[in-house]
């Protein structure tokens, strides 16, 4: 009888253990589901403020525009409808900002009650008219036609160069500067960290005596545990002014500054993994090389590094992954300008954008969805990096 109870308990415990072992997998799946369910909505929404309406003259043959095209109209860099496939009429924009140029204040009424009529008047008078107003000012019986606005397109999102998610009345949601900013900052960081960390790993694994190694290795591992916000703080206080001084820049918060901080943060990761890989080279392999008359240095270059190369590669890829996903330190030192990045100018990365803007984005709005769509990009990049790390590691095992 007691045995039977034992069996039932054992089975029960086993199923509880089994369930918890699935937690990580379920979490990854849930992350995917939530990021996509919030982010994918972006591509089914129009990049226009809910309370705004854009109208054009009835004669106009154009009926649909994208947010980028509208941006050209509002900035007045394109002034003819021909540019958008319409008739040869010059574009005449009327909005709350310039209505005073067309109509005197008395005409609009003391509490602007005449604005709807004036909008109709304007649209009927000018065949090239485009009017942009909030719903409250638009006439009940609009004399023109409403302009349709394209949904945010995937390609437009990925290749757009303007990131003004809160612009009125149409938001500009191009993430190319953010993607390029992320790539630039991380790439330069890894290029700086790589020679330093590989040299340090070789020194620790092969050259240093065990006494030095036993002190340095735990210390370097410890430094990997320092919070990123502390690195960011250090970068802001020390590295930012130095970069500004040395390169004689107007501001010290640049992509390059971010790269330096990221490089410092990536050092412990790459050193630890690469050193482990170098240490796992079998002793017999090394001794065979030495027995053939090679010097220690030749053995390292010709035997140890080639044998450990997939482990070293895994460390480097891991470092790149960390650098791309790093949020706080980069947010604090890169200056966060969402322009097309260059090395010695302020830049902005995907994680920093999310961290800086999500707090101000109303839940479920366009900006909110755009930030989740950004996080999908980030997730896909890091997921790819993780998969390649496990691929490289497994390849190492099978060798």
Partner 1 sequence: MASKKRIQQALAFGLFRIVSLIVVGILFSILFFITIRGIGVINWTFITAMPEDGMTAGGIFPAIVGTLCLMIGSMIFAFPVGVMSAVYLNEYMKDSWLKRFVSMMTDNLAGVPSIVFGLFGMALFVNKLGFGDSILAGSLTLGLLSLPVIIRTTEEALKTVDDSLRIGSYALGATKLQTIRRVVLPIAFPNIMTGLILSMSRVSGETAPILFTVAAYFLPKLPTGWHDQVMALPYHLYVLTTSGTNMEAARPMAYGTAFVLIVIVLLFNLLANIIRKHFGRKVKMN
Site for partner 1 in 243-262 (CB under 8 A): none
Closer to partner 1 by CB, 18 or 155: give it: 18
Strand ranges across the sheet with 92-95:
92-95, 129-134, 52-56, 145-146
- Rounded to whole angstroms, the Cα distance separating 329 from 233 reads 7
Residue 371 tokens read as 């930030």
Site for partner 1 in 214-243 (CB under 8 A): 216, 218-223, 225-234, 236-238
Q: Does 207 bind partner 1 (CB under 8 A)?
A: yes
Stretch that binds partner 1, among 154-162, 163-171, 202-210, 243-251 (CB under 8 A): 202-210
Site for partner 1 in 295-354 (CB under 8 A): 295-298, 318, 321, 324-328, 331-332, 351, 354
- Distance of closest approach, residue 46 Cβ to partner 1, in angstroms: 23
Closer to partner 1 by CB, 169 or 177: give it: 177
Q: Does 386 bind partner 1 (CB under 8 A)?
A: yes
Q: Does 378 bind partner 1 (CB under 8 A)?
A: yes
Omega cis (within 30) before 33: no
DSSP SS3 for 399: coil
- Distance of closest approach, residue 34 Cβ to partner 1, in angstroms: 4
Choice from 1, 2, 21, 250 touching partner 1 (CB under 8 A):
21
Q: Does 379 bind partner 1 (CB under 8 A)?
A: yes
Q: Does 155 bind partner 1 (CB under 8 A)?
A: no
DSSP 282-310: -HHHHHHHHHTT--HHHHIIIIIHHHHHH
- Distance of closest approach, residue 154 Cβ to partner 1, in angstroms: 20
Stretch that binds partner 1, among 61-69, 97-105, 213-221, 280-288 (CB under 8 A): 213-221
Stretch that binds partner 1, among 3-11, 50-58, 104-112, 303-311 (CB under 8 A): 3-11
Q: In 3D, which of 321, 325, 314 has the Cα closest to residue 375?
A: 325
- Rounded to whole angstroms, the Cα distance separating 95 from 92 reads 10
DSSP SS3 for 369: helix
Choice from 8, 9, 158, 290 touching partner 1 (CB under 8 A):
9
Residue 385 tokens read as 């990096």
Stretch that binds partner 1, among 2-10, 60-68, 130-138, 165-173 (CB under 8 A): 2-10
Distance of CA 167 to the CA centre of its chain: 20
Could you tell me which residues come within 8 angstroms of residue 268 by beta carbon, excluding any fewer than 6 positions away?
220, 221, 223, 224
Q: Which residue has the tokens 């403020």?
A: 49
Q: Does 292 bind partner 1 (CB under 8 A)?
A: no
DSSP SS3 for 139: coil
């Amino acid at each position: 009888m007691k045995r039977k109870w034992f069996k039932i308990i054992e089975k029960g415990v086993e199923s509880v253990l089994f369930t918890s072992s699935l937690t990580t997998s379920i979490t990854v799946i849930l992350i995917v589901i939530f990021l996509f369910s919030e982010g994918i909505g972006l591509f089914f929404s129009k990049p226009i403020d809910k309370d705004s309406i854009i109208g054009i003259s009835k004669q106009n043959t154009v009926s649909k525009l994208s947010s980028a095209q509208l941006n050209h109209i509002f900035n007045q860099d394109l002034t003819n409808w021909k540019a958008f496939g319409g008739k040869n009429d010059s574009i005449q924009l009327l909005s709350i900002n310039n209505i005073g140029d067309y109509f005197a204040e008395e005409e609009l009424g003391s509490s602007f009650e005449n604005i709807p009529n004036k909008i109709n008047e304007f649209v009927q008078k000018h065949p090239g008219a485009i009017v942009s107003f909030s719903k409250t000012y638009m006439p009940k019986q609009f004399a023109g036609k409403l302009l349709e606005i394209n949904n945010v397109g995937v390609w437009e999102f990925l290749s757009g160069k303007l990131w003004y998610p809160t612009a009125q009345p149409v938001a500009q949601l191009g993430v190319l500067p953010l993607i390029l900013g992320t790539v630039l900052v991380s790439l330069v960081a890894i290029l700086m960290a790589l020679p330093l960390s590989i040299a340090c790993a070789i020194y620790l694994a092969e050259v240093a005596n065990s006494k030095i190694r036993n002190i340095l290795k735990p210390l370097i591992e410890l430094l990997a545990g320092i919070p990123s916000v502390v690195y960011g703080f250090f970068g802001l206080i020390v590295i930012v002014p130095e970069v500004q001084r040395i390169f004689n820049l107007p501001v010290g918060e640049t992509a390059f500054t971010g790269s330096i901080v990221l490089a410092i943060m990536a050092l412990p990761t790459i050193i630890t993994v690469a050193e482990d890989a170098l240490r796992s080279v079998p002793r017999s392999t090394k001794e065979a090389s030495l027995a053939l008359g090679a010097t220690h240095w030749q053995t390292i270059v010709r035997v140890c590094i080639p044998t450990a190369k997939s482990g070293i590669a895994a460390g480097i890829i891991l470092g790149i992954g960390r650098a791309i996903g790093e949020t706080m330190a980069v947010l604090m030192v890169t200056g966060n300008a969402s322009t097309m990045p260059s090395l010695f100018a302020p830049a902005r990365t995907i994680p920093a954008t999310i961290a800086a803007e999500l707090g101000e984005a109303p839940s479920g709005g366009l900006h909110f969805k755009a930030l989740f769509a950004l996080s999908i990009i980030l997730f896909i990049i890091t997921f790819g990096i993780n998969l390649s790390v496990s691929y490289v590691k497994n390849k190492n095992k099978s060798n």
